[in-house]
């Protein structure tokens, strides 16, 4: 590796200060980008030299990076605020967002718990109720934890007796969490404070005296947002004691990539330790008998050959949701006293639909399936015999269905592209469900429609896509169309509600969601078809979706915009590199843009199971062929681009977007703008305050209306 030499100009922030932006078409010719020094650093990968001129932008705290960030934001926000339609868009977004939103309730210790947002609250508030008819009382209001709403409630668990609440908070969108304990009766915190928790929930012991959780060793201040996260450790915390006295339950100094999740069975007898290696769906399962003091941690499923998600247990019989010999997943029983494979029992067999979740409530299995990326819910007896389907309100997404084995009721949320999440209570004795809470939004859902189409990708694979728009919209080949995709990590894109997309459709836009390979819509085979050396299939699927929309006279390239976030940001970057002629505008959000170095930061190493690694010669070849940062063509004309990232993103570090923006601005020779919007006191997206969400959407929609020349 050669030494990098920089010639920084610390005065570049002043370049944007005197810029004058005209409204309308004048904006197109007004953008002048801050200069970014190009270093001469070169890496050698398997004999191939790869330049990395913007390596210095990987350090978000350096003076040079801070100057560049300030200059880029000055250019971007002046541009966006000068778009004439933006104030009206933000006003309408604020109106649409101002509706009550509810989380799925659950019952613990004879009390109910649920979250609610009154509309424009930055964070949802956690409430408790003595009965479903009782008035809710505030248990925890995260809005009081900061003046600007940037402290978010990330997760929480209530002790078995309903007396104590353990809850995690995140600051400025970071993945790092602090866990605290609150008395449910008084709504006051106890002395407990657990630091450096990441990628972990908690699980209480049956006696309510403490809980299991996982954490990393404390990083240095300079490393906490960038350094790779290795050596996860599972601890037990006893309420009232300092974290320094927590008991180390399990760790593996010889396996730095192993990540631990400890959960206690409903009867309190077993600690089940799920062991993962990053985002690979395969995992291991160990257990410990909590009724036997000093009991060892015992491997149960240790072959790392499939995914095994613990559902619940009956004595020594453990129930798992697994894709072992079942790509679309099934439910099996493993007896810890007779754990050999020949003794396993199949309880719920594999279906033509993908079994995405399973729970045990009312002494039965409730399975949530995906049928062409929309929800189907079925009930089974514990022997696997079918009871029947749960009737859903329509085509959409259902989630929830939690509870205990003896509970006779459960709750679920149902949503679609035009219906906000209504909460339903399902009586499992009668089979009848009723609306428990239903939000009211200031728009007429009957004026919109959703339908599903199927198209052929480059290799002939049949891919589904949802289309939502105003009823009666005429296909004239000129409709502004917003195409969204993800395609990775076994994650399924199902119908969901967004006030921002309502605003888009009110303006005459079409919203399209393509269910690409790499996701989980059709099981593990569908996922694997979009990983590693087969990642190009995902880009082919997305490009084919755009071509279908054009061929079927919904839109044309000058009216077509694409967006994706995180892995979807990678998708957008790769596709606009490969087909810049196909799109008028692109919104790559918090994207993985440097595919040769992604594994060197925070949790990036965990994505190697999906992407592969540049350390592997064959995988390097595939990565280098599509890496958004490394496939920009000097002098090419790219779509109008608004890159979004955040200064506290410690999932996909902002250096990805910083380097990509600098490289794209350097390569681009078209008249369309290439901008980067860098949010402050924000992270990868989770827990972002409502005010910040509305601001970002106002910017994105204003950008699209201008670049697609919408009336």
**Confidence grade of residue 2 (pLDDT, cut at 50, 70, 90):** very low
pLDDT at 222: 76
Would you put residue 420 in left (φ > 0), alpha (ψ -120 to 50) or beta? beta
Mean pLDDT for all residues in the chain: 94
Q: Is the pLDDT of residue 24 over 50?
A: no
Q: Do residues 178 and 168 touch, judged by C-beta distance below 8 A?
A: yes
Examine the pLDDT at 224 and tell me if it is beyond 80: no
User: What is the band of 442 on the pLDDT scale with cuts at 50, 70, 90?
Assistant: confident
- What one-character DSSP code corresponds to residue 246? P
Q: Please compute the mean of the pLDDT values over residues 678-695 and round it to a whole number.
A: 89
Inter-residue contact 74 to 13 (CB < 8 Å): yes
Q: Each residue of 473-495: pLDDT tens digit? A: 999 999 999 999 999 999 999 99
pLDDT digits (tens, 9 = 90+) for 415-429: 999 999 999 999 999
Q: Which of 375, 566, 609, 657 is catalytic?
A: 566
At the topology level, CATH places domain 24-95+443-707 in Rossmann fold (3.40.50)
Q: At what angle do helices 86-97 and 690-707 cross, to 10 degrees?
A: 140
Whole-number Å distance between alpha carbons of 541 and 465? 10
Laid out side by side, the sheet with 210-215 consists of 151-158, 164-171, 177-183, 188-204, 210-215, 233-238, 247-251
Determine what percent of the chain is predicted with pLDDT higher than 90: 91
Burial environment of residue 642 by CB neighbours within 10 A (0 to 12, 13 to 18, 19 or more): buried
Q: How far is it between the farthest Cα atoms of the chain? A: 75
**Identified catalytic residue from 174, 684, 699, 706:** 684
Query: Is the predicted pLDDT of residue 28 greater than 70, yes or no?
Result: no
pLDDT in tens, 159-190: 999 999 999 999 998 999 999 999 999 999 99
Beta strands 101-102 and 111-117: pairing type? antiparallel
Q: What is the pLDDT averaged over residues 644-651?
A: 89
CA atoms within 13 A on the CB side of 571: 32
The pLDDT assigned to 542 comes to 99
Known active-site residue 649: yes
pLDDT of 23 > 70? The answer is no
Alpha-carbon span 616 to 603, nearest angstrom: 19
Query: Does the annotation mark 706 as catalytic?
Result: no
Residues 59-107 pLDDT 10s? 999 999 999 999 999 999 999 999 999 999 999 999 999 999 999 999 9
Tens digits of per-residue pLDDT, 112-142?
999 999 999 999 999 999 999 999 999 999 9
Please report the pLDDT score of residue 279 as a whole number: 95
Q: Where are the domains of the chain?
A: 24-95+443-707
Share of the chain above pLDDT 70, in %: 96
684 a catalytic residue: yes
Task: Indicate the pLDDT class of residue 30, thresholds 50, 70 and 90.
Answer: low
- Cross-strand partners of 422: 414
Mean pLDDT value across residues 336-347: 97
**Catalytic residue (choose from 192, 649, 679, 699):** 649
- Return d(Cα 642, Cα 589) in angstroms, integer: 8
Confidence check: pLDDT of 199 > 90: yes
């Amino acid at each position: 590796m050669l030494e990098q030499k920089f010639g920084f100009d610390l005065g570049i922030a002043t370049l944007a200060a005197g810029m004058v932006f005209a409204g309308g078409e004048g904006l197109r010719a007004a953008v002048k980008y801050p200069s970014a020094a190009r270093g001469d650093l070169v890496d050698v990968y398997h004999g191939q030299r790869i330049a990395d001129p913007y390596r210095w932008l990987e350090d978000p705290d350096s003076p040079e990076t801070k100057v560049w960030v300030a200059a880029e934001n000055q250019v971007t926000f002046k541009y966006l605020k000068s778009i004439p339609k933006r104030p009206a868009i933000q006003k309408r977004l604020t109106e649409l967002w101002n509706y009550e939103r509810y989380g799925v309730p659950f019952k613990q210790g004879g009390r109910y718990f649920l979250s609610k947002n009154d509309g424009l609250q930055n964070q949802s508030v956690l409430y408790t109720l003595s009965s479903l008819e009782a008035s809710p009382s505030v248990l925890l209001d995260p809005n009081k934890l900061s003046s600007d709403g940037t402290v978010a409630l990330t997760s929480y668990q209530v002790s078995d007796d309903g007396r104590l609440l353990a809850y995690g908070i995140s600051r400025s969108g970071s993945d790092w969490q602090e866990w605290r304990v609150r008395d449910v009766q008084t709504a006051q915190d106890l002395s407990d404070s657990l630091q450096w928790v990441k990628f972990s929930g908690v699980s209480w012991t049956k006696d309510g005296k403490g809980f299991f959780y996982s954490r990393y060793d404390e990083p240095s201040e300079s490393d906490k947002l960038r350094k790779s996260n290795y050596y996860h450790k599972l601890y037990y915390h006893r309420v009232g004691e300092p974290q320094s006295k927590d008991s180390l339950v399990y760790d593996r100094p010889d396996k730095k990539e192993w990540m631990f999740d400890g959960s206690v069975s409903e009867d309190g007898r077993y600690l089940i330790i799920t062991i993962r290696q990053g985002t690979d769906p395969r995992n291991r399962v160990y257990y410990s008998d909590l009724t036997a003091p000093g009991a060892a941690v015992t491997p149960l499923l240790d072959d790392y050959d499939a995914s095994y998600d613990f559902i619940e247990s009956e004595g020594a019989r453990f129930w798992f949701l697994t894709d072992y010999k079942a790509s679309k997943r099934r439910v099996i029983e493993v007896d810890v006293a007779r754990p050999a494979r020949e003794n396993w029992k199949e309880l719920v067999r594999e279906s033509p639909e993908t079994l995405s979740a399973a729970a045990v409530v009312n002494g039965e299995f409730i399975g949530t399936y995906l049928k062409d990326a929309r929800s189907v819910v079925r009930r089974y007896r514990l022997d696997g015999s079918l009871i029947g389907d749960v009737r859903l309100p329509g085509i959409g997404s259902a989630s929830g269905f939690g509870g205990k084995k003896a509970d006779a009721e459960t709750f679920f949320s149902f949503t679609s592209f035009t219906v906000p999440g209504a909460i339903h209570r399902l009586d499992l004795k009668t089979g009848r469900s009723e609306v428990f809470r239903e939000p009211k939004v200031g728009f007429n859902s009957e004026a919109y429609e959703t339908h599903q189409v199927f198209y052929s990708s480059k290799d002939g694979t049949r891919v589904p896509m949802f289309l939502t728009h105003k009823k009666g919209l005429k296909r004239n080949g000129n409709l502004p169309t917003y195409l969204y995709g993800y395609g990775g990590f076994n994650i399924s894109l199902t119908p969901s509600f967004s006030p921002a997309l309502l605003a888009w459709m009110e303006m005459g836009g079409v919203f399209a969601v393509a269910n690409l390979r790499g996701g989980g819509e059709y099981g593990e085979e569908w996922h694997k078809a979009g990983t590693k050396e087969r990642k190009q299939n995902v880009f082919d699927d997305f490009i084919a979706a755009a071509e279908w929309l054009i061929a079927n006279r919904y839109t044309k390239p000058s009216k077509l915009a694409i967006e994706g976030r995180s892995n979807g940001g990678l998708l957008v970057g790769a596709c606009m590199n490969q087909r810049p002629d196909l799109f008028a505008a692109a919104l790559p959000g918090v994207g993985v843009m440097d595919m040769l170095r992604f594994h060197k930061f925070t949790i990036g190493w965990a994505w190697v199971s999906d992407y592969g690694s540049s350390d592997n010669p064959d995988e390097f070849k595939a990565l280098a062929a599509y890496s958004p940062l490394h496939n920009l063509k000097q002098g090419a004309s790219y779509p109008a681009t608004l890159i979004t990232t955040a200064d506290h993103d410690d999932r996909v570090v902002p250096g990805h977007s910083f380097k990509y923006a600098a490289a794209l601005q350097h390569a681009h020779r078209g008249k369309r703008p290439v901008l980067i919007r860098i949010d402050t006191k924000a992270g990868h997206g989770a827990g972002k305050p409502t005010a910040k969400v509305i601001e970002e959407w106002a910017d994105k929609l204003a950008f699209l209306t201008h670049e697609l020349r919408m009336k």
